[in-house]
Amino acid sequence: MSLPVNIQMIGAIVLPNLGGIAGGIITKKNLNPWYENLKKPKCRPPNWAFGPVWTTLYSGIGYASYIAFKDGGGFTGAAKLPLLLYGTNLLANWAWTPIFFGAKDLDLALCEINLITVTAIGTGYLFYKINPLAGYLFIPYVAWLGVATWLNYRIAKDNPKKPNILKIDEKSN
């Protein structure tokens, strides 16, 4: 007896991880020397923890989106707005890594992570109204975003941008 394969559920779980995989590639390319040379708080999670944590969180919110989609009538039912907000959250989340690690813009990344957190809270709330389990699955994600926001803030604060000052060679004047 074979078990039925739920392609929609699998797709919903895999989708957020696709951005995570792309982000992992960008992160890996910029860990050393740039990130390793930044001033970081001593009580931060170790680098190796981020991959498993994000994979777990992405899978959880992906499953939450499947529950909301299934119980909320898909893209034409009550789940339409929550799923739109969820899509916005994913896009904002996926944009953070290229901003932080690619562009190395710590301040813009801090603004971005606040957008991610606000849309995550909103999505969790709207998913909860469709199915409480879908909303509860956002709690670990929002909690981790709190940690990530604090870490982004501390790194941005402890590594201020240095102005590019054009040095004038006195001998050429």
The domains of the chain, with CATH numbers, are 7-39+47-158 (1.20.1260.100)
Cis peptide before 33 (omega within 30 of 0): yes
pLDDT at 110: 98
CA nearest 116: which of 91, 137, 140, 135? Answer: 91
Token pair in block for residue 70: 């299934």
Instruction: State pTM to two decimals.
Output: 0.88
pLDDT in tens, the chain (173 residues): 677 889 999 999 999 999 999 988 888 888 888 999 999 999 999 989 999 999 999 999 999 999 999 999 999 999 999 999 999 999 999 999 999 999 999 999 999 999 999 999 999 999 999 999 999 999 999 999 999 999 999 999 999 986 555 555 555 55
CA atoms within 13 A on the CB side of 131: 15
Token pair in block for residue 69: 């989609």
pLDDT at 173: 52
pLDDT at 32: 85
Per the CB < 8 A criterion, the answer to whether 86 and 65 are in contact is yes
